[in-house]
A and B are shown apart, each in its own frame.
Chain A
Amino acid sequence: MAMLQLKNIDVIFNWGTVNETQVFDNFNLDIEKGQFVSVVGSNGSGKTTLLNLVAGNLEPTSGEILLEGKSILNLAEYERSHFIGRVFQDPGKGTSPSMTILENMALADNKGQTFGLQRGVNRKRLDFYRSQLEQLELGLEDKLNVKVGALSGGQRQALSLLICTLTPIQLLILDEHTAALDPKTSETIMELTNKLIQEKGLTTLMVTHNLRYAVEYGNRLLMMNKGEAVIDAQDAEKDKLEINDLVQVFSEISIELGN
């Protein structure tokens, strides 16, 4: 059974007004367990809307969303966080800047449990946090008591990735998570992302502006246009795809759209 299923999804914004926009019309998508799906597409093609639907920021006008066969539609965003991790474009969104790296790790470590009056940081977990931070290869394991607000965007984004995958999740959502970083840092974070996904075998839905990342990483590629997948290539078929193929489809679409 697929890990994530979107069934007959309709999304209409500002329904019944002059600004009515239909983003999805009977949209369907199945993502298998362990699949790493990259999503590309022009502006306004519905990528963010897709992620918002899955994460719980947006209710579809109609349709069904299933995670491991169970409907998640009536779960709020924070409830879906039990199963879904998300890294945002803004590196500030995944961590608490006024708290130290250690405190951020301790918070993440406690996800899914009660947040009561127990001591917030468990010293016995220190070695585990260090070993996790070592994987990032950014030296953060030696900066446990540094406030996250003092870290660079790339370091914060790496930490965000670690934090949202520290406890088991069924689906990882990456929301153009390298777009706010400089090219070199972006590259580092993308490699790190791939490493974490492979190690933990995470089912992943990644929206990216970077066609090369979409081609190089993951085992499935979707190209969205006007709420439809104009390209959906998996495994061998995806391996054959090159950036040029994507650029070509892109420009055809652009011409069609009149730009």
Chain B
Amino acid sequence: MDVFIEISKGVLEQGFIYAIMALGVYISYHVLDFPDLSVDGTFPLGAAITAMLILGGVNPWLACLLAFIVGALAGLVTGLLHVKLKIRDLLSGILTMTALWSVNLSIAKTSLLSTYGAKTIFDSGIIMLLPESLASWRTLILVLILALFMKFLLDWYLTTKSGMLLRAVGDNPQLVTSLAKNPGYVKILGLAIGNGFAAFSGAILCQQQKFFDVNMGTGMIVMGLASVIIGMTVFKKLSIIKYTTMVVLGSILYKGAISLALNLGFNPNYLKLIMAVLFTLALVSNNFLDKKEGRGKVHGHVAIEEY
């Protein structure tokens, strides 16, 4: 029983931390309709910056905030590559991701950096107000609050004028043009926000696991997309819950499935393979459900080509 609780706690902790990254992927993939691979680079970017800052004695909350901002700047670069230099969406993300590898290494100065001993949001400040008896739950409670806070922040943003324009640009860029706004700029803004979320998530993971690893971003986009798609597929019928909630739940389900597979005795070397299989299953069932309901993603209009 204790083992089960420990495992579940671990799944939930990881699930909530990565859920913030998945919310970022939700913005680019679902809201903007932009497959943004930069996430694989901005997630560790957030971690690298946080590691250096907290080792330098900077307040760990401030470190998270700065990670968000720098992640957003990296997303801005992806957006500029795409919009200003007219590089394809996938390639723009790959370029940023590739460049960030070196950037992350040069920030951390090593591929593996322990932050042991540095103050983190999990062992200093407000979280210490929790009674001692809850000490072993501190991490879970804090990541739960953080994931929910980011979710509600995003929910709120998407109902503002700026957020509505963001939704419109993924849906129908021509409408944004008709509203006398440059759709390119709106896309850049969305990519900045999405990557801010990814870097923020990386910052929290770094503080929780107490190290930065230059490889920690590998497969992030797959994990993020899987969370988005699993969440939306599983909870599709529950139209009362928001997409962002589905994404958070999807992240937990995904982490749960991986943990289950490993605990059932799958070789950890197959982890990526399991990830890919899970992702494929989610995609296929998503397509299947769409077909059954006779609709794809709401983009399918009667496309009538001129010329």
Name the one of B167, B175, B303 contacting A95, with C-beta atoms under 8 angstroms.
B175
Question: Is A250 among interface residues, defined by CB-CB distance under 8 A?
Answer: no
B180, chain A: closest CB distance, angstroms: 4
Q: In this complex, what residue of B is CB-closest to A117?
A: B160
> Is the beta-carbon distance between B164 and A115 smaller than 8 angstroms?
yes
A88, chain B: closest CB distance, angstroms: 7
CB-defined contacts of B291 to chain A, threshold 8 Å: none
> Is the beta-carbon distance between A78 and B171 smaller than 8 angstroms?
no
Chain B 296-307: CB-based contact to A (< 8 A → 1; otherwise 0): 001101111011
**What is the interface residue range for chain B against chain A?**
20 to 34
CB-defined contacts of B182 to chain A, threshold 8 Å: 76, 78
Q: In this complex, what residue of A is CB-closest to B186?
A: A115
Q: In this complex, what residue of A is CB-closest to B179?
A: A111
CA distance A1 to B252 in the complex (A): 65
> Is the beta-carbon distance between B180 and A79 smaller than 8 angstroms?
yes
CA distance A76 to B304 in the complex (A): 23
Known: A82-B180, A107-B165, A117-B160. A96 touches B303 (CB 8 A): no
B181, chain A: closest CB distance, angstroms: 6
> Is the beta-carbon distance between A116 and B160 smaller than 8 angstroms?
yes
CB-defined contacts of B267 to chain A, threshold 8 Å: none
CA distance A97 to B175 in the complex (A): 11
Known: A93-B301, A153-B302. A81 touches B179 (CB 8 A): yes
Q: In this complex, what residue of B is CB-closest to A85?
A: B178
Question: Is A220 among interface residues, defined by CB-CB distance under 8 A?
Answer: no
Stretch at the interface among A98-106, A223-231, A239-247: A98-106
> Is the beta-carbon distance between B171 and A97 smaller than 8 angstroms?
yes
Name the one of B163, B175, B299, B302 contacting A94, with C-beta atoms under 8 angstroms.
B175
Name the one of A82, A88, A97, A98 contacting B174, with C-beta atoms under 8 angstroms.
A88
Query: How many residue-residue contacts, CB under 8 A, span A and B?
Result: 100
> Is the beta-carbon distance between B178 and A86 smaller than 8 angstroms?
yes
CA distance A98 to B243 in the complex (A): 12
Chain B 124-164: CB-based contact to A (< 8 A → 1; otherwise 0): 00000000000000000000000000000000010111111
Question: Is A91 among interface residues, defined by CB-CB distance under 8 A?
Answer: yes
Which A197-253 residues have C-beta < 8 A from chain B?
Answer: none
Known: A76-B182, A90-B304. A120 touches B174 (CB 8 A): no
> Is the beta-carbon distance between B178 and A115 smaller than 8 angstroms?
no
Which B35-74 residues have C-beta < 8 A from chain A?
Answer: none
> Is the beta-carbon distance between A108 and B301 smaller than 8 angstroms?
no
> Is the beta-carbon distance between A77 and B177 smaller than 8 angstroms?
yes
CA distance A112 to B161 in the complex (A): 12
Chain B 222-248: CB-based contact to A (< 8 A → 1; otherwise 0): 000000000000000000000000000
B264, chain A: closest CB distance, angstroms: 39
Known: A90-B301, A117-B161. A78 touches B176 (CB 8 A): yes
CB-defined contacts of B302 to chain A, threshold 8 Å: 90-92, 153, 180
Question: Is B183 among interface residues, defined by CB-CB distance under 8 A?
Answer: yes
Known: A96-B171, A149-B298. A106 touches B162 (CB 8 A): no
Q: In this complex, what residue of B is CB-closest to A77?
A: B177
Chain B 164-208: CB-based contact to A (< 8 A → 1; otherwise 0): 110110011011111111110000000000000000000000000
Question: Is A186 among interface residues, defined by CB-CB distance under 8 A?
Answer: no
CA distance A180 to B303 in the complex (A): 10
Name the one of A78, A86, A97, A106 contacting B299, with C-beta atoms under 8 angstroms.
A97
CB-defined contacts of B179 to chain A, threshold 8 Å: 81, 107-108, 110-111
Question: Is A48 among interface residues, defined by CB-CB distance under 8 A?
Answer: yes
B296, chain A: closest CB distance, angstroms: 11
CB-defined contacts of B164 to chain A, threshold 8 Å: 99, 103, 106-107, 115, 120
CA distance A118 to B156 in the complex (A): 10
Name the one of B162, B171, B176, B304 contacting A98, with C-beta atoms under 8 angstroms.
B171
Question: Is A185 among interface residues, defined by CB-CB distance under 8 A?
Answer: no
B185, chain A: closest CB distance, angstroms: 9
A-B contact sample (16 more), CB < 8 A, given A98-B167, A117-B162, A147-B298: A48-B307, A78-B176, A78-B177, A86-B178, A90-B302, A93-B174, A94-B174, A107-B179, A110-B161, A111-B178, A111-B179, A115-B164, A120-B161, A120-B163, A164-B178, A180-B302
A/B interface sample: 6 pairs, CB < 8 A: A48-B306, A76-B182, A92-B302, A96-B175, A120-B164, A147-B298
List residues of B whose CB falls within 8 A of some A CB: 157, 159-165, 167-168, 171-172, 174-183, 298-299, 301-304, 306-307
